[in-house]
Structure 1
Amino acid sequence: MPRAEPLAFPTELPEGFPRLEQEPEFKPGAHLALEKPETIVTLQELGYTPGEIADCPTDLGITSCFRVLSDEGVACLQEVARSLARYARSNDRIPRLVRGGVYQSRFLRDFCLSPEVAEAVSGICGCEVLPHSIPHQLGHLNYNPETVGENVDKWHTDTLRIDYVLFVTDPNEVEGGEFQYFEGTKNEMQAITGRGEPLPADRVISPSLPGAGHAVLQQGNMVAHRAKGLRQAGERITLVNGYVPREIGVPDFTRFDQLYLADPKHVAASEYARHIAWIGREMLQAQIERPEYTDDRERLAGQLEAVTALLSAAAAEIRAAGDARMEHFGDG
């Protein structure tokens, strides 16, 4: 299958994202300590059907925790995350977060766009991925709420396919704040919470977390997960970084209706339009560079119509933005 070429980070930055005046420089050789997870829970093991899995780029569900950053890398990321904390805001799902930090921090941007990390993530997924082409899907930072006991994030699935949750601070140095996922499908989660029933305790999994600089990788739109609140005052920071499949034939999964509720209005629609334009360009480029000499006119017409359908659907989504509500499964 044709592969997309990476989309360069925008050269013109939007208003409202002041740059950090002082920050470290990202150095892959010094700041990365990439390892592989010991275990992977597949979508099949979570209960998804072959038909549901066929629509996904990989059978990856969620991994055990694995190391991403060296001690020096952790120290640098902590410095940047603490510097960005003053820009934290909230939404209907998360009490305290920073999105768009890649516009403000060169370190955060370079780390999130790291080809070394993307290659490692590809190896774990079993499919080649690229850092997400929507900047607000890179380097999402969650901070512990100021109210002890309030959940860091509600039960939810993500607005993108593949991402990792990295612990910027050591989760073992605080009381509470567990990252958890539901051992089941998102439809099961919807059914249980829709009935107002508690989740079965034996199906709520809290992965073992060795320390700061470690992460879990997941197919975030398929795995229901949350972050609990702290039981005592402390510092808890995580980073979520998103990826897109490089294979052009994989259908896009971007919940723009949700992103428009979460991100600044003057940025969200522009980022999404650019993302879709990139996909369309890559679809057309594949036809230009690898022409198919055939009299199958239906097939050739269908390839062009696929691009038209992609652009038309995205245009309709952009026009309809703002009519949705922020989706989640509650606090559990």
Structure 2
Amino acid sequence: MTGYLAQPLAFPDKAPDGFEPLEKEPEFDPRRHLQIERPDRVESLRDFGYSEEDIAACPTDFAVTSIFRVLSDEGVACLQDVASQLEQFTTSNARIARNVRGGVYRSRFLRDLCASTDLTEAMSEISGCPLLPHTLPHQQGHLNYNPLEVGKNVDKWHVDTLRIDFVMFVTDPRSVEGGEFEYYRGTKHEVEALVKAGKPLDPAKIVAPDMPGPGHAVLQQGNMVVHRAKGLRAPGRRITMVNGYVPRDITFPDFSRFDQLSLVDPEAVASAEYARHVAWMARERLQAELNSISFEGNANALADRFAKHATLMAETADQLRAAGTGQLEHFGDG
């Protein structure tokens, strides 16, 4: 199955129960609200110390970018308005004290921003990987708000439950003390080994990019780059948005981590989103299969390929039955 790029999955035509839409919000206009610039620097997974075997399982060898602009001043103002309205719906989990997931069901502005073809094409170009807006709506436009307790980290050291995403400041990072976004310039295997040994992360490898203002972002291969958000050192307001993508090349192993998502999102919603995601992935993989079958094929080889599709369905069933039974994974506060 090569040379096939998956087609988008339509956004659900009905919101889950309890996700009422905002009554009044701005209308997204990419011509006015986007101001996408290109990062000066793009680092690779090799720069972080990953092996060729690790990289081969990824859709791109890109790791993280330098800071670049995404939103115009007007776009920032609109997103700040929406984020303020959504703040009443914050939830918490073992990693994050206050966040809003599923905001794309409540806010049409947020949904249209995350689904913007201009934005998706730019992220594809920067990452070196054809992308689509994430097929799990809860992985689009995720908003993190600072804890009400000064000094408590916004998020712990972790890797993401998706492959490609950007972290963008909604509020002005220069208006608060602390709240830095940081990433570790090493492998997740290294971090895991350090944590298991009870050792601190190497401070020389911790990078805190200097954010020049709101509407600026870092793009990363989130499941490979260990990162966190520090707490504020004085009272203030800090909001970031994380927007996720899936590779259009669906031959790479999936990295949706339903076992983790079912612990932080409403179980019924998380299960339905995951089922739609896997059904989409299976549909696209079967379409790629249909396009590639030839009369010169070998029966056993074809059988092996179809056995992989059957395995995907069986593993998905097992994941759904085990929803909510795992533990939330992270590397702590360092």
Q: Same fold by TM (over 0.5)?
A: yes
| Structure 1 range deviating more: 199-208 or 159-168 | 199-208
CA displacement at 1:304 relative to structure 2: 1.8
CA displacement at 1:291 relative to structure 2: 3.5
| Structure 1 range deviating more: 255-264 or 290-299 | 290-299
Aligned counterpart in structure 2 of residue 288 of structure 1, from 259, 274, 290: 290
Is the 8 Å Cα contact of residues 257 and 317 (structure 1) preserved in structure 2? yes
Is the 8 Å Cα contact of residues 64 and 208 (structure 1) preserved in structure 2? no
SS at match of 1:223: coil
CA displacement at 1:273 relative to structure 2: 0.6
Note if 1:137 corresponds to 2:136. no
Aligned counterpart in structure 2 of residue 118 of structure 1, from 105, 117, 120: 120
Q: How many angstroms apart in 2 are the aligned matches of 1:95 and 1:149?
A: 12
Q: How many angstroms apart in 1 are the aligned matches of 2:289 and 2:156?
A: 43
Aligned counterpart in structure 2 of residue 63 of structure 1, from 62, 65, 70: 65
SS at match of 2:152: coil
Q: Which runs of 5+ in 1 are unaligned?
A: none
Q: How many residues align?
A: 332
Q: How many angstroms apart in 1 are the aligned matches of 2:11 and 2:36?
A: 24
Q: Match for residue 77 of structure 1?
A: 79
Q: How many angstroms apart in 2 are the aligned matches of 1:327 and 1:291?
A: 40
SS at match of 1:44: coil
CA displacement at 1:266 relative to structure 2: 1.3
Q: Which runs of 5+ in 2 are unaligned?
A: none
Is the 8 Å Cα contact of residues 154 and 226 (structure 1) preserved in structure 2? yes
Percent identity of paired positions between Structure 1 and Structure 2: 58
**Superposed, which structure 2 residues align to 1:26-175 within 5 Å?**
26-175=28-177
Aligned counterpart in structure 2 of residue 25 of structure 1, from 12, 24, 27: 27
Q: Match for residue 241 of structure 1?
A: 243
Q: Match for residue 187 of structure 1?
A: 189
CA displacement at 1:289 relative to structure 2: 4.1
Is the 8 Å Cα contact of residues 267 and 323 (structure 2) preserved in structure 1? no
Aligned counterpart in structure 1 of residue 219 of structure 2, from 217, 229, 236: 217
SS at match of 1:181: strand
Note if 1:275 corresponds to 2:296. no
Q: Match for residue 4 of structure 1?
A: 6
Question: For 1:232-265, what per-residue CA distance to the aligned partner results, in whole angstroms no more than 9, with x for missing partners?
Answer: 1111000000000001211111110000001001
Q: How many angstroms apart in 2 are the aligned matches of 1:247 and 1:229?
A: 37
Q: How many angstroms apart in 2 are the aligned matches of 1:31 and 1:298?
A: 53
Q: How many angstroms apart in 2 are the aligned matches of 1:299 and 1:116?
A: 40
Q: How many angstroms apart in 2 are the aligned matches of 1:67 and 1:134?
A: 25
For the aligned residues, what is the CA RMSD?
Answer: 1.0
TM-score, normalised via structure 2 length: 0.98
Letter in 1 for 2:11: F
CA displacement at 1:287 relative to structure 2: 2.7
SS at match of 2:244: strand
Q: How many angstroms apart in 1 are the aligned matches of 2:32 and 2:110?
A: 15
SS at match of 2:46: helix
SS at match of 1:45: coil
Q: How many angstroms apart in 2 are the aligned matches of 1:292 and 1:215?
A: 45
| Structure 1 range deviating more: 226-235 or 316-325 | 316-325
Which of structure 1's runs of 4+ aligned residues deviate more than 4 A?
none
Q: Match for residue 199 of structure 1?
A: 201
Q: How many angstroms apart in 2 are the aligned matches of 1:141 and 1:322?
A: 22
| Structure 1 range deviating more: 97-106 or 200-209 | 200-209
Letter in 1 for 2:142: H
Q: Match for residue 268 of structure 2?
A: 266
Letter in 1 for 2:257: R
